[in-house]
Chain A
Amino acid sequence: GQQLNQSPQSMFIQEGEDVSMNCTSSSIFNTWLWYKQDPGEGPVLLIALYKAGELTSNGRLTAQFGITRKDSFLNISASIPSDVGIYFCAGQEDYKLSFGAGTTVTVRA
C-alpha cells in the first residue's frame, strides 16, 4: 500500500500545551483523515479533509489538507489528559485508506 510518513512517533506534552503532528506522502490523496485510537478501541474519526488547502476545526483540533495533496497536519490546542492516545493520519484514494504509523501522545498532568 501507500507509504505515509507520520511524525513525531511519540510525544510527551504538558497539560495546556499545544501539540502538532503531521503526515507526508509521496503520493497524492483525494481525502486526508485523522483518527484517534484509545487502548482497546477502534480508531475514531476526528477530522476529514476533502479539498487541497482546506483547514478544518473540530473543537480544540485543527487539521489542514496540504496544497500539494501530499501532506496534512493536525494541531491540538490546550491539551488535556483525555487527549492521551494514538493519533493516525490516513490518506484515502478511491476505496482504500492508507494509514500512517501513528503518533503516541502522553500528557503530563
Chain B
Amino acid sequence: DSGVTQTPKHLITATGQRVTLRCSPRSGDLSVYWYQQSLDQGLQFLIQYYNGEERAKGNILERFSAQQFPDLHSELNLSSLELGDSALYFCASSVSGNSGNTIYFGEGSWLTVV
C-alpha cells in the first residue's frame, strides 16, 4: 500500500459524458501528479500540482482539467469523453515535487468509455 488513495477503482461511462477522478495523496505529501496509462501510449504524464497550484503540464487534453484542494486532495475532471479516453489513470504524490523526491503511485482508476 503506497498510501495514495484513488477513487473510483473502476468506472464505465458513455461517450460525451463527464467524470471526476479523485486522489488523496500520502500523508505529508504536498505534490500530486496525474498520469494516463493506455496500451498504445504507455504511461504519460498529464499534470502536476504542488500545494494547491499547478506546477507542470504534460500531455493533457483541453477537455481534461485538474485541481488540488486546500486539504491537498486532487481531482481530475474528464469531459466530452471519447472512446480513446479509456485508460488507467494514476495519481501519484511526493513530498515536494522536486527532482529526487520519491514519487508514490496509487492503484489507479480504470475508465472505460463505451
Partners in one complex: yes
Partner-B contacts on A (CB < 8 A) = 1, 30-31, 33, 35, 40-45, 48, 50, 88, 90, 92-102
Could you tell me the distance in whole angstroms from the C-beta of A42 to the nearest C-beta in chain B?
A: 3
Known contacts: A94-B56, A95-B56, A96-B56. The answer to whether A31 contacts B99 by CB under 8 A is yes
Q: Is A48's CB under 8 angstroms from B102's CB? A: yes
Q: Is A42's CB under 8 angstroms from B107's CB? A: yes
Contacts of B97 in A (CB 8 A): 95
Known contacts: A31-B100, A95-B98, A96-B56. The answer to whether A42 contacts B2 by CB under 8 A is yes
Q: Is A97's CB under 8 angstroms from B108's CB? A: no
Separation of A22 and B48 alpha carbons in the complex (Å): 27
User: What class of interface size applies to chain B in its complex with A?
Assistant: 20 to 34
Separation of A24 and B104 alpha carbons in the complex (Å): 23
Q: Is A99's CB under 8 angstroms from B90's CB? A: no
**Beta-carbon contacts of B82-108 to A below 8 Å, as 1s and 0s?**
000000001010000111101111111
Given A1-B58, A93-B99, 6 additional A-B pairs, CB 8 A? A1-B44, A41-B107, A42-B106, A43-B90, A92-B100, A94-B99
